[in-house]
Amino acid sequence: MDPIVMVSSYPPRLCGIGTFAEEAREFIQKANPGRDVLVVSHTDGRGDGVFPIIDTTRHDWWRPVAEKIRHLRPYVIHIQHEYGLYEYRDYRGFGDGNQGFLTLLEALADFPIVVEPHTVHGRLRDFEANFIHQMSMRSHVVILKCHYQKWRLDWTFSGLGWKTPQNLMVIPHGARPDRRWGIDQIPLLRKELGMDAMGLSEHVVGMVGWIQANKRWDILLSMWEDIHREILETTGQDWDLLAAGAMRDPNDARYYEEWKGAALELERKGLAHYYEFIPRGEIYYKVMAICDFVVIPSVDETQSGTLARVIALNKPYLTTAPMEGLTAQTLESEGGLLFTTKEMLRKKVVRLACDENLRLELGEKLRRYLEEVVSWEVVAGQYSEAYKLARRAVRTGKPVVLPPEF
């Protein structure tokens, strides 16, 4: 049978899109047992069925990619898009505005094309609006992660006097349904991770993931000493803050050093612990699993792999609002609390730590949201529908027409 061909960055590259593609591929394969799911990746991708040929140091990087995909004769082409993944820059450092990506779509127009852009802001810059419009015109189906992205695009394009594409399909960021540990298993996880030797308290607030500028770990780190004192006075319980992760982008080195230093200073005071690990694979889930709840203080996030893992584990959480996909999924799942000021963050961390029933209630809502809405098993089925729509468009010559949100 003809294969499903994904185009994406891919591990071992330390890239959120690559990690997403790896998980998505696993569940797409399970949903399509009779087909291979192959990956055309950047030159640092590795693995069975992975073809590492995307070399954006070439202005015509798209040409060998198109040739390879044609040779594979795909059932459908499923592309993960992020601007930085497909940007060619010349010797002066000038970028092509992802023109090579648009040319790739044109070169493959006779195959079913599904594009899944990972950055679609609610308020688009002029370049983003123009690019998304052109990309949508050259794709058979475009997958957005959140409903707000679809109705905001309609508002943006209408305001510019442009016709809103009708091939926009909303499929949420998938979350694993198979990474939940019972309370009785947490001591074994702590021991496996070496956290018993760290002297970690029984109760833990987690900040887990890549350490980068937009994650703003410093907000909670700067407040934790007072928060810890208030929780202890209210409940008599000694809670630890677990700051766990690593740096991915060298441009974030300053934040990494500052925030790691702040966490280690709290550790010296017996109030927190710093745990360094690469946030990828099963260990990512295990570190989160030992937390009673998780704080995601991001200040720029159209979607979140961190939140997907929190949902997978049914962990109550706190996150920033209004903040694109983080806020949207919090409202839809009803499984987290939102803050918009430091004082709100302080009060809600204390509230979650002091109210076990609230933590259980939020966790149960996340369990239902996972199983009914965002499980990769559900999402893979929705991808299959997108593939069928794209194939029908190629077969009939009629574009995909989906209803607007509002």
Q: Which amino acid is at 79?
A: I
Please state the separation of Cα 164 from the chain's center in Å: 26
CA nearest neighbour of 279 among 6, 5, 3, 20: 20
Spatial distance between the Cα atoms of 370 and 308, rounded to a whole number of angstroms: 9
Looking at the fold, whether 25 and 161 belong to one and the same domain comes out as: yes
The pLDDT tens digits of the residues spanning 141-180 come to 999 999 999 999 999 999 999 999 999 999 999 999 999 9
Looking at the fold, whether 118 and 244 belong to one and the same domain comes out as: no
Looking at the fold, whether 358 and 390 belong to one and the same domain comes out as: no
pLDDT band at 360 (very low <50, low <70, confident <90, very high): very high
Instruction: Give domain status of residue 147, yes or no.
Output: yes
Looking at the fold, whether 148 and 14 belong to one and the same domain comes out as: yes
R_g over Cα of the chain: 22
In this predicted structure, the answer to whether residue 371 has a pLDDT above a threshold of 90 is: yes
Looking at the fold, whether 358 and 380 belong to one and the same domain comes out as: no
Looking at the fold, whether 106 and 118 belong to one and the same domain comes out as: yes
pLDDT mean across residues, the chain: 96
Looking at the fold, whether 109 and 238 belong to one and the same domain comes out as: no
pTM summary value:
0.95
Instruction: Give domain status of residue 402, yes or no.
Output: no
- pLDDT at residue 304, rounded to an integer: 82
Spatial distance between the Cα atoms of 181 and 314, rounded to a whole number of angstroms: 10
Instruction: Give domain status of residue 403, yes or no.
Output: no
Instruction: Give domain status of residue 12, yes or no.
Output: yes
In this predicted structure, the answer to whether residue 29 has a pLDDT above a threshold of 90 is: yes
C-beta neighbour count of 313 within 10 angstroms:
22
- pLDDT at residue 196, rounded to an integer: 86
The pLDDT tens digits of the residues spanning 216-229 come to 999 999 999 999 99
Looking at the fold, whether 199 and 294 belong to one and the same domain comes out as: yes
Instruction: Give domain status of residue 349, yes or no.
Output: yes
Instruction: Give domain status of residue 130, yes or no.
Output: yes
Compute the average pLDDT of residues 33-46. Answer: 97
The pLDDT tens digits of the residues spanning 237-294 come to 999 999 999 999 999 999 999 999 999 999 999 999 999 999 999 999 999 999 999 9
Whichever domain contains 169, its CATH number is 3.40.50.2000
Looking at the fold, whether 264 and 219 belong to one and the same domain comes out as: yes
Compute the average pLDDT of residues 47-66. Answer: 98
- pLDDT at residue 136, rounded to an integer: 98
Asked if the peptide bond before residue 322 counts as cis, ω within 30 degrees of 0, the response is: yes
Residue in the structure block whose two tokens are 């970028």:
95
In this predicted structure, the answer to whether residue 28 has a pLDDT above a threshold of 90 is: yes
Instruction: Give domain status of residue 406, yes or no.
Output: no
Looking at the fold, whether 40 and 170 belong to one and the same domain comes out as: yes
- Which range of residues forms the domain containing residue 31? 4-174+376-396
Looking at the fold, whether 288 and 357 belong to one and the same domain comes out as: yes
Split into its structural domains, the chain has a count of 2
- pLDDT at residue 197, rounded to an integer: 87
Contact residues for 260 (Cβ-Cβ < 8 A; gap 6+): 211, 243, 274, 276
Instruction: Give domain status of residue 99, yes or no.
Output: yes
In this predicted structure, the answer to whether residue 303 has a pLDDT above a threshold of 80 is: no
Compute the average pLDDT of residues 330-359. Answer: 98
When mean pLDDT is compared across 38-47, 190-199, 215-224, 389-398, the lowest value belongs to 190-199
In this predicted structure, the answer to whether residue 195 has a pLDDT above a threshold of 80 is: yes
Compute the average pLDDT of residues 81-90. Answer: 97
Compute the average pLDDT of residues 189-214. Answer: 94
Looking at the fold, whether 33 and 158 belong to one and the same domain comes out as: yes
